[in-house]
Each structure stands twice: as C-alpha cells, then as structure tokens.
Structure 1
C-alpha cells in the first residue's frame, strides 16, 4: 500500500482529554461547527476560531482517576463522558444524545483481585457475575437532551442505565446515528477487567459486548428506567425500542459508515487483549429485536442468527484464538503464548466474521509498527488527500517502541478489498513536531460528509492531568 504523508493543523489546545469530535450545524446557524467532548464532561464547539462551551456536565460525571474511596489508579481511567451524537434532524429539533458514567455510583467492582484465565483451572474459565447489585464498579447512562430555543441544553429523558462490572471497556465515541436506519447506535465494551471473565460478550442476554440500535422515535418516557445489566431486566416498552446488530465485542471506538452505491460499509474496531488490534467491515447484517432474544432465552430455543454479526471475542482476538502471554523463564527473549479459551474459539470459529485488517502489538516488519490500543476508526471520502480517498483511517494510542523513547501515537489506513479478504495496512506519516512531550492519539473524528478528519491528542495517560489536550485537523 502507498506511503501517505499528512500534516497536522492545531485547532484548539490546552483542553481536557478529547473523547469525541463531531461536526453539526446548530439550529439557526449556516455552517458546520466542530464539537469536542472531553472525558471529564465538557462539550465545546469551535465558531469563528473561538472555542465556546456548549454544555458542561462535570458535576454529573463520576470522579475520574480513582476506584473505591481512597484507592488510586494512578490517574488512568476509561469512564467519563464517552458518547455524543446529534440527531440527524438536530438542526430542526435540537435533539442530541450523551453516554457517560454517573457521579456518585462508584462501587467496589465485580472481582476482588485482577483476573487472568488459567487453562489448568476450569474455575477461572467459567466465572459468573453474581451479586450484581452490590458487586459492580459504576453505572453508565444514555440520555436524550434538547437544545432549547433560548440556547440552553436540558436533559429530556433517560434511555438506558447500565451497571458495569469494572471501570474499563465502556466504549468511546460510543454513540452514532445510522444513516441507513436513522436509529441511534450504542457500542458497549465487554464490561472490562481483561479476558472478559464472565464471557458477557457472547451471552445474548447481556448488554455488555454488543452493538445495539435504539429507536429514539419511540417515546418511552419511563421517568427513571431501572439500572440493569441484562436485556430481560428492562421494562417491555424499552425492550421494544432495541435491536442488536452484533456481539463478541471486547472494546470499541464507535462505528463509522461509508456510502457504497445504495448501501453502506460499516467499519468497527475491536480493541485487542495481548496480541492484536482489529478493524472489521460489513455491509449486510440482520439485527435481532431484543424481544426475540428474550423470547428465545425464555423458551430455551436456538435463535436463527444468520446475518447476525459476531466479532468472536472472547474466543477470538481478531484473526487469532484468544491467548495470554507470559515470559519464558528459561529464555527471557521469548514469550509463551497459550490459547486461553480453546473451546470457545472452536464454538465461534464459523459464526464470527473475519477482520478487514489487523495490526500487532509486536511486529518485526520495518514498515509497520507495534501497537498498544485502537482508539479511532473513520471512513474518509474527501479528495483533499487523494491517496486516502475511499479508505478507512485508524489511530493507535501509542507506538510500542519497546525502547522507552518518547511516546507517540500512530495514524494508519487500509481499504476494503474487492474479494473481501484480509487486507494489509500502511502507516500515515505526520510532520508535526511534538517536541519533548508525549503524544497519545486518543480519538479520531470527522465532519458530516466524511471529507475532513480530526485527531485528538493528549500528552498524558492520566485523565487527572488536566488541560493537556490538542485537537488537530489532518490536512495534506
């Protein structure tokens, strides 16, 4: 694949960690504005070169960088304001949607110690999440808001309240509208820890580890919907608004749509465990109404899942059976890789879809890179950067150099192949000089017609290190 070089043009700097970047046209306005949501709970927009506050929900967002009271995570966190989506008719109706971790909901977590599967101990392979009302980490909410005629946003209703077992794998850029169905799409991670200890991602009843469509046209004004973890715990009116597109998700930086004749290619990234990061693509899919999933579970019957998307986790990590890695004591230069969930890899081997492309945490090839975690996937159909037109661009948090050098993220791209087979990828080189600062690539965004791309960069891995973010436009 062609080597591509781009420049990064700073748009705004010294902001908190940017989780979502989207463009929208404000009611009564005439131009697209870039909206930036930060993990701590602010939403800004750029107008005439000036940054303005659209909404500040910091008091509503969980205190970040800590677990239970008095215990520190060193400032790293995956909770916060994670999703922002504007209704396709936002210009006319002022509706937008938020996904965030709720203040005051901190719990002790679902397990008392870090989890790692042990193939020699079946007990570690078949854990169950019990005592869910007390053994959880926090609660996430998905809400509908409206921009009132006086210019002030207010919350309209709560769509979902989800109890999460661990602090991580909550998704990011987790709310997007489908141009095909007009429905709101929520992408949820598997609930966290590592290796999906409760196998939530493959369980049809679990909300974790899924891609879910929400029909926001159906007005289910349940004033205070219950806090749930499973679809069958939801009130019937809410169940009827939900369909499930996919399962087998580990963690996911949103979904991107690329127009392709009369349909759309969907791009989804699945963050890896130890080995590999993966980007998937699909055009056709058959979503399953949640009411059907519940009925099949109640009747203990097999549901027809032809056309239902399965990314394979936890049995598969991209194109590989899910493994864990430990150092070889006899030879420190080598690693032992053990297939953790062999039986599940077999069970899901035929049902899962293959990745479009994968990149690895260790890669000896000189023109590639070792990755850390996938943080953004966006279709690009602009012509400003002709060599990228029609491709899917993705970002990795931090290049894994292994030599302790200055940290910098990576931009790369790939394309869908006509024969639908696994494709290679190529690094996109940038000319921006970050100086002595680290540059973690934390998010990727685009404008409404996918002709411009935006990169969110942070100079620290700690969300408690404030005002260290910069948003760039990616330009020729």
Structure 2
C-alpha cells in the first residue's frame, strides 16, 4: 500500500478506492464464514444476479449475413485508412487476413505464426486466450504505412514490465515463478500502404514487452484515439479472483498477483488501460512516449506507472472510440457472474477486484474448499459505493432467474452506418455464448444512445443505468469472438463454431436489418 502521506492529488481517488476494501471485507466476512460452515456462496451469487435487471427482448431485430469463411478463430477486424472496401481481420492463430467486403475473398496480409507461442494447447479441450490478439492502424496509415499488433510470444529478452514474484503458499503452488509468455506490442511498416499488392516489411519494431504469468486475461485491444495516441488494454494477469494460487483452466496454480489485486495496484500495468505516444521516446525503454497529460504522470516518482490511463479492469477485451460523441466505451469481461459496459474516463477506477459490476466482490468466498483454492463471488449489490469507483453504465448477469444470458461480454462499436437507421448512435456489442458448452453467441445493444450515457464523469444510478437489449430472435450458431466497423460505419461480428483456435469454422458476418 502506498503511504497516504506521500500521495499527490493525482492518486488520491485511486488509493481511496483501494482503502475501502476494508469496509467491503467487513461485509464479506459473514459470507466467508458461511462458506466455511457449508452454506452456499453460489446461492448468494444467484441472489445478487436475480436482483439485476434481465436482458430485454426489445422490438428491433437484426440478422447476420456471411461475408467470409474458412478462418480459424477471427477475433477482431479493422478498416485501414486509405484502403476502402476491405477489412483486416485478426485470426488468433497468427494470420492477418485482408477481406474484400464485396466478394468475401480473403488473402493473407501478414503472417506472425512464427512469433507466437503454440496456440490451442493451454487449457483442457484446446481452449486458449493467447495468440494474435490486437491490431490498430495509425491514423496516418495512408501516408506513413504504420500499424501495430499485440501478440503472445515465447519469453525472449528482458521485459519492460513484469509481475510480482511473490511465492505462493497453497498446496498446489507452482514450482516456478517464470512467465508463461510475453505479450508484445510491435510496430510494422508497409512501403506502399494503398497498393493492394504491397505487404508489410519482414521486420518490426518492439515498443513494449510484458511478462505474463498465466495463459489468460491478456487483454490486447489497440485503438488510436482522436488525440492520435495509442490506447492499449492489459488484463489482470490471469486466473480467478486476481490473486495468486488459484487453480487455473490449464490445471496450474496462478502466479503474479499483487496482494491488492493487480487491477487495484497502480505500480503495475496489469488490469489497466494504457495510453502511449507511438512516436515519442520518453518511456523507460525509449521506444514510445508517455503523454505529459496522462492522469498519473505526476505520481511516477512514487512508483505509479505513468502509462496508466484507467485502472481496476479485469480483462478489458474490446473497446472503441466513437468520434461524434468523443466517448471511449467497451466491455470488461466479468468473472463468474456479471458482465459490464464501461464508459472510460482519464484516471477512472473501474473497481476490479473490489467489485464485479455494481456488486461488492469477495475474492475469498470459497476459502474452505477441499482443494484449498478460492473462487470469489459477488456478495452484495452496492451501486455508487465505493465513491471512488466508476460503476458500469450497463451490466447483466450470466443468468437471470432461469435464463442464460451470457458468459463473457465482447465489446463492439457505436453504430454510425446507414443500413439500420434504428441503431444510430447506439452501442452494439455481444457475448461469447449464453452457454459455454455450445455455440450460442449473442448480439446486444444498449437501450440508450451514447448521447444519453454521459461522459463517465458521474456514476449512473440504478434508475438511470442503461439496459441491455437482445438484437437477434435466436442465438447465433457461433461463439462470438469480436466485432468490426468498416469505413462506412457498418458493423460486423465474427467467431467460430468450436470455441477454440482450431479448425476452419471461423466466419466474418455483416449485421443487416430484418425486413
């Protein structure tokens, strides 16, 4: 804990949020005791979920039409400035496809498979969250030919950021504190960016290399803001509860978590949204710049990471800027109960692991399990408290009463196209699947326009918080992995039928109206 006497005004709100964990813990003690005595924390979580508003059915409907097939695990698409009629689609296994939106024809634009860890082996059944995860084109790509990627790579070279090497004491503690992999931010150059035959140079420049202790919660979304700066999302480092010694999906105990939880520790980059200048050199490694107006720059002498733009994020997997409104909006993937939509502001603390959605979160809820691991749960709805935490503008539970609503929210875009005028100004996103065991992807929207959501400066109340609305009459037959927006503002959804990075069932689909 940073001593209060040393704090500058820039970090008072941040550490204030951390300090209230004591109050949350007091409320949670009863739940921990109940768990030790055999009472069900699952029942408590269900009580919290049933108190949340369910997903609305609504009257507006969209459908999807297939644009391109034959990919493995497409999870992100981006339009490149100066390259009309195409989307560049990131395939988790290491291929960047250039897709012709008229014909659906696709070609390999960049192949980074040789850079990656072996993808599709991390967890039981081939599930994996590592791979080719992020892409952003420089706003001046048409003239400078620069774009950026985020990839999970074998450990190679010194990391710019690493996790706490805290020894674990649980029964299944790992024998090694070595990183599972490194997540790497790279800059690529294309000599003739508007020439369809031109391809990126064979070499790239590494801007940032981050040690990762576990296979999951990598984040990886890259977006340029209207300020010309690059925003980079980093997950909390992986595993349950943002704490060390949890049994993870790969059968290993987690490593690399701060006692505060990485999301709440401002000396770490994990569980944060970073903001950097790709053309600057003021960072410690001289490969990028740290904007002087980043919210915590003045506290860097205290060990606070000056790259941080927002904190308290579990796995801010996908987000987007909306130019007309100026909002940065996206989805933070919840743990086992609540998914949330956040409007991000500079210096905002979004709660993890103090909260999951608007509920206080107890990371010790299943402390008394026979295996010795814990598995946290939300224990009490607490909208607006702690005051230093920015609550989501919308949320939904994995289940509402007897209805499955989702398992992992997938951020999308504000609709600015013309094909579906009823969607104008509304944030469209999705969920991986209502049932993780089968492909039942969802497409959702918020019932408020972005102009109604506010700027994120004021926490919404239960009566003003937006509701989530289902946009399709039936679930999609794919696991939803990501969204894309073309140069005209039309939206696309992508995913595959397997839920793992294997096979060739990956598709890119366009959202179209139901007539």
TM-score band w.r.t. shorter chain: 0.7 to 0.9
Shift of 1:88: 0.2
Q: Give the structure 1 partner of residue 276 of structure 2.
A: 214
Contact map agreement 1:397 1:442 (CA 8 A) in 2: yes
RMSD: 3.9
Aligned-partner SS, 1:312: coil
Q: Give the structure 2 partner of residue 37 of structure 1.
A: 90
Q: 1:45 to 1:362 in 2, by over 3 A?
A: same
1:447 has 2:483 as partner? no
Cα distance in 2, alignment partners of residues 60 and 224 from structure 1: 23
Q: Give the structure 1 partner of residue 119 of structure 2.
A: 64
Shift of 1:136: 2.0
Cα distance in 1, alignment partners of residues 330 and 475 from structure 2: 28
Residue by residue, what CA displacement relative to the aligned partner does 1:352-380 show, whole Å, maximum 9, x if unpaired?
111111011111387xx421011222111
Q: 1:355 to 1:64 in 2, by over 3 A?
A: same
Contact map agreement 2:359 2:379 (CA 8 A) in 1: no
Q: 1:386 to 1:242 in 2, by over 3 A?
A: same
Cα distance in 2, alignment partners of residues 396 and 54 from structure 1: 28
Aligned-partner SS, 2:61: strand
Contact map agreement 1:384 1:475 (CA 8 A) in 2: yes
Cα distance in 2, alignment partners of residues 273 and 356 from structure 1: 18
User: Within 5 Å, which residues of 2 pair with 1:119-158?
Assistant: 134-149=177-192, 151-154=198-201, 155-158=203-206
Shift of 1:148: 1.9
1:259 has 2:323 as partner? yes
Cα distance in 2, alignment partners of residues 338 and 94 from structure 1: 46
Q: Give the structure 2 partner of residue 387 of structure 1.
A: 422
Shift of 1:457: 2.0
Cα distance in 2, alignment partners of residues 219 and 91 from structure 1: 23
Cα distance in 2, alignment partners of residues 10 and 338 from structure 1: 38
User: Within 5 Å, which residues of 2 pair with 1:202-351?
Assistant: 202-219=264-281, 243-260=307-324, 264-282=326-344, 285-286=345-346, 308-323=347-362, 349-351=386-388
Q: Give the structure 1 partner of residue 235 of structure 2.
A: 189
Cα distance in 1, alignment partners of residues 418 and 383 from structure 2: 43
Greater helix percent: which structure? Answer: 2
Point out the more displaced range, 375-384 or 187-196: 375-384
Shift of 1:210: 0.5
Contact map agreement 2:241 2:376 (CA 8 A) in 1: no
Aligned-partner SS, 1:208: coil
Q: Give the structure 1 partner of residue 496 of structure 2.
A: 458
Q: 1:280 to 1:240 in 2, by over 3 A?
A: closer
Count of aligned pairs between the two proteins: 398
Q: 1:200 to 1:386 in 2, by over 3 A?
A: same
Shift of 1:164: 0.7
Cα distance in 1, alignment partners of residues 469 and 408 from structure 2: 17
* Aligned mate of 2:389, from 341, 352, 356: 352
Contact map agreement 2:264 2:311 (CA 8 A) in 1: yes
Shift of 1:388: 1.3
Contact map agreement 1:158 1:224 (CA 8 A) in 2: no
Q: 1:221 to 1:441 in 2, by over 3 A?
A: same
Q: 1:73 to 1:281 in 2, by over 3 A?
A: same
* Aligned mate of 1:5, from 53, 61, 66: 61
Residue by residue, what CA displacement relative to the aligned partner does 1:302-352 show, whole Å, maximum 9, x if unpaired?
xxxxxx1111000100111114677xx9xxxxxx9865899xx99971111
Point out the more displaced range, 40-49 or 197-206: 40-49
* Aligned mate of 2:80, from 24, 35, 52: 24
Cα distance in 2, alignment partners of residues 340 and 130 from structure 1: 29
Q: 1:224 to 1:95 in 2, by over 3 A?
A: same
Residue by residue, what CA displacement relative to the aligned partner does 1:233-263 show, whole Å, maximum 9, x if unpaired?
xxx9xx9996321000100122212234xx5
Shift of 1:92: 0.6
Shift of 1:394: 1.1
Contact map agreement 1:169 1:251 (CA 8 A) in 2: yes
Structure 2 unpaired stretches of 5+: 1-55, 158-162, 244-256, 288-295, 370-374, 455-459
Cα distance in 2, alignment partners of residues 54 and 64 from structure 1: 20
Aligned-partner SS, 1:249: coil
1:471 has 2:514 as partner? no
Cα distance in 2, alignment partners of residues 431 and 14 from structure 1: 24
Residue by residue, what CA displacement relative to the aligned partner does 1:49-96 show, whole Å, maximum 9, x if unpaired?
2211110111111101234xxxx6321100000000000010111000
Contact map agreement 1:277 1:374 (CA 8 A) in 2: yes
Residue by residue, what CA displacement relative to the aligned partner does 1:236-295 show, whole Å, maximum 9, x if unpaired?
9xx9996321000100122212234xx51111211111210000114xx34xxxxxxxxx
Contact map agreement 2:234 2:269 (CA 8 A) in 1: yes
Structure 1 unpaired stretches of 5+: 116-122, 226-231, 287-307, 330-335
